[in-house]
Amino acid sequence: MASPVDATPRPSRHRKPSTAALTFGALGVVYGDIGTSPIYAFRESLVEPARNSLTPVEVLGVISLLVWTLVLVVTLKYVVLILRADNDGEGGILSLFALAQRALGRRTPALLAIAILGMALFAGDAIITPAISVLSAVEALEIVAPGADQVVIPLTLAILAALFWVQRHGTGSVAIFFGPIMLLWFLTVGALGLAAIVRTPAVLAAANPFYAIEFLAEHGFGAMPVMGLVFLAVTGAEALYADLGHFGRRPIRIAWNAVVLPALVLCYGGQGAEVIADPATASNPFFLLAPEGLMLPLVLLATTATVIASQAVISGAFSMAQQAVQLGFLPRLEVQHTSGVQRGQIYLPQINGLIFAGVVALVLSFGSSGRLANAYGIAVTGTMMATTILGLVVSRRLWQWSKLKATFVWVPLLMIELAFFAANITKVAHGGWVPVVLAVLVGFTIRAWIDGSQYVLRKSRSAGVAIETLARSVGRSAHVTEVPGTAVFLTGDRSFAPAALLHNLKHNHVLHRQNLIVTVVTETTPTVPADRRATVEKLDERFTRIVLSFGYMEEPNVPRALKGAAALGVSFDIMRTSFFLSRRSFRSTASEGLPRWQEAIFVVLTKYASNATDFYRLPTNRVLELGEQLAI
């Protein structure tokens, strides 16, 4: 009997990490982005109020907004609610989309649009986060060494270049230091904040939400820019959910409640206390919390923490891109494993190159973290709203919440995020256009690939031959020579004969003794158990139809899956098997097909798609490719 089959190589057997170890790891990976927000969030939130004389009441109002945004958006929405929406242990917006799709029993256009929007905006976040994080830390050198402004941009670019270069080598060797460094970071910022609060305890009044409400009421529409910048405090909240599969719900919650939230509240409160005591510190309240002798060590620690924050979002982009490929949102992309132990440590060269190019362009174009801050909020708020809407669907259909309960819980959260989104929209002309443009480009690319793939499938079906019909006609034909061995034909449509099979019959007039018509499908679950990997349908003595199911977090290994299907009656000898693939080229037609813009994007994407042989883990010396031209 065949051994169980997996989609990817089995990791080495290790004892499951303890809750304490996972909590420690979550500090280093999950909370890097949101943990480094104090470097710039409070500073930028004070810019508008400081245009006139900054009053202590205004400072208390901004601090209150920051603290209650952390409580409502991060603690209530993500830590309490969204972490419950695990898709067989996995998280992230695409996991939530797959969960909502499974709850509804179908992929609706509205769900698809929300998922595409969330993905597109996350792409903007992945580009902006490394740029603003590293830039904001390096800029502090100007405080330590006046006149160092000339080296800020070159040094930032050098750090970023090193960060993206190291991706190809994997982060396993350095990830072990992430937890200790981020723990040191949170203890440091919390202690600095606490010391300032002790010196100016009046800032404790900001814990009263009245000050936030009063600030908004008093400033009216003028508070909108401040709200947009206050939202910088919760950038990175999506990581809590995206990394659910790596660390689990309980460690993420413990890390937030026991370490991260207290440290952030103390740090923001301390910055407010410092500004109340000396309004001149509003220019850079975070770094001015430190005594003069500790300024340089704090700058170095902050730079290291921002690199870790950037690493986390880059890794998140790799994981999301891989899931998008499996769900059919993007073409096949090259995936390189950088660890033989952990499946989640992957490197996607194409995605890495695109993000790096975007980061460099932002640093050179904006030149400072202050100007970049205007570009940040739209991407984050848009992604969060997409998560909220999908969470509403899951709670109604999967958790069986009543309409009243779901409305009472999710609608207020959505209204808060809409308010922040509206506040960030006011910054479109001052840099907010960046994530909008990025989202449009990514969204159009995904839409073009989905529509193009569906059109090609319909086109192939219109000229196709049902596999049952072909099997009957070949059985009666005297012009077909049977040859020994097995032929495996991969096809996206299990109902029709693969183009490679038709071309082989037409040009070579041969047919193998056993022909396996194999279709690979992606389920809405992260993984598929080995006993449900393959379904087999024998059409006749020569033809067998096989459907191989993989989860959206898995990488399909077709030979291994076929070997595991031996228990279902599939005789499979890799040394006597040929894998047939159809390599399509496309010809444009003026009278039919896709819109011109979709056609152009789709054709480019097909050219950059990774080789099917590598993607499906086929043995290169057993693969035959047959060309096919298709008019679109």
**479-511 per-position pLDDT tens digit:** 778 888 899 998 888 888 888 888 888 887 888
Burial call 159-175: b when 16+ CB within 10 Å, e when fewer: bbeebbeebeebbeeeb
Q: What does DSSP say about strands 534-538 and 346-347: parallel, antiparallel, or unpaired? A: unpaired
pLDDT tens column, 415-433: 999 999 998 888 887 777 8
| Predicted pLDDT of residue 335 | 80
Mean pLDDT of the chain: 85
Q: Tell me: do 270 and 397 sit in the same domain.
A: yes
Q: Tell me: do 277 and 412 sit in the same domain.
A: yes
Report residue 564 as tokens: 């595991």
Report residue 116 as tokens: 């595409």
* Residue found by looking up tokens 């883990």 in the block: 617
| Predicted pLDDT of residue 348 | 87
Domain for residue 11, yes or no? no
| Predicted pLDDT of residue 344 | 57
The average pLDDT across 357-368 equals 91
Confidence class for position 173, pLDDT limits 50, 70, 90: low
Q: Tell me: do 134 and 277 sit in the same domain.
A: yes
Domain for residue 91, yes or no? yes
Q: Tell me: do 225 and 317 sit in the same domain.
A: yes
Report residue 498 as tokens: 């693969």
Q: Tell me: do 479 and 360 sit in the same domain.
A: no
Answer whether 585's CB lies under 8 Å from 627's CB.
Answer: yes
Q: Tell me: do 185 and 334 sit in the same domain.
A: yes
Please provide the DSSP assignment of 7-59 as one string: SSPPPPP-PPPPHHHHHHHHHHHTTHHHHTGGGTHHHHHTTTGGGSPPPHHHH
Residue 544 in this model has a pLDDT that exceeds 60: yes
Three-point CA angle 9, 169, 360, nearest 5°: 125
Q: Tell me: do 487 and 408 sit in the same domain.
A: no
Q: Tell me: do 163 and 260 sit in the same domain.
A: yes
For residue 398, what are the domain limits? Answer: 19-431
pLDDT tens column, 98-149: 888 888 888 888 888 898 888 888 888 888 889 988 998 888 888 877 777 7
Report residue 632 as tokens: 């679109």
What is the model's pTM? 0.81
Residue 357 in this model has a pLDDT that exceeds 60: yes
Q: Tell me: do 518 and 395 sit in the same domain.
A: no
Domain for residue 398, yes or no? yes
User: Nearest 5°: phi and psi at 573?
Assistant: -120, 110
Answer whether 496's CB lies under 8 Å from 522's CB.
Answer: no
Give the residue among 553, 555, 527 at the shortest CA–CA distance from 243.
Answer: 553
Domain for residue 437, yes or no? no
Among candidate residues 431, 450, 472, the one where a domain is terminated: 431
Report the run of H or E that residue 486 belongs to, with start and end: strand 481-490
pLDDT tens column, 568-607: 888 878 888 899 888 777 766 665 677 888 888 888 888 8
Q: Tell me: do 423 and 464 sit in the same domain.
A: no
The total domain count for the chain is: 2
* Residue found by looking up tokens 């809405």 in the block: 524
Helix 19-29 and helix 178-199, axial crossing angle in degrees, nearest 10: 80
In the chain, % of residues over pLDDT 90: 32
Q: Tell me: do 79 and 222 sit in the same domain.
A: yes
Report the run of H or E that residue 438 belongs to, with start and end: helix 433-462
- CATH number of the domain within which 72 lies: 1.20.1740.10
Residue 630 in this model has a pLDDT that exceeds 80: no
Report residue 53 as tokens: 């004389």
Domain for residue 1, yes or no? no
pLDDT-wise least confident of 67-76, 333-342, 382-391: 333-342
Residue 402 in this model has a pLDDT that exceeds 90: yes
Q: Is the dihedral of CA 421, 425, 427, 430 positive or negative?
A: positive
Answer whether 61's CB lies under 8 Å from 211's CB.
Answer: yes
3-state secondary structure (DSSP) of residue 90: strand
Domain for residue 359, yes or no? yes
How many Å apart are CA 422 and CA 425, to the nearest integer?
A: 5
The average pLDDT across 530-545 equals 88
Domain for residue 375, yes or no? yes
Q: Tell me: do 390 and 503 sit in the same domain.
A: no
Confidence class for position 7, pLDDT limits 50, 70, 90: very low
Confidence class for position 12, pLDDT limits 50, 70, 90: very low
Report residue 140 as tokens: 């502090």
| Predicted pLDDT of residue 426 | 81
| Predicted pLDDT of residue 412 | 94
* Residue found by looking up tokens 């304490």 in the block: 20
| Predicted pLDDT of residue 592 | 64
Residue 387 in this model has a pLDDT that exceeds 90: yes
Which stretch, 29-43, 426-440, 567-581, has highest mean pLDDT?
A: 29-43
Which stretch, 29-33, 426-430, 443-447, has highest mean pLDDT?
A: 443-447
| Predicted pLDDT of residue 175 | 62
How many Å apart are CA 458 and CA 452, to the nearest integer?
A: 10
Domain for residue 450, yes or no? no
How many Å apart are CA 407 and CA 402, to the nearest integer?
A: 8
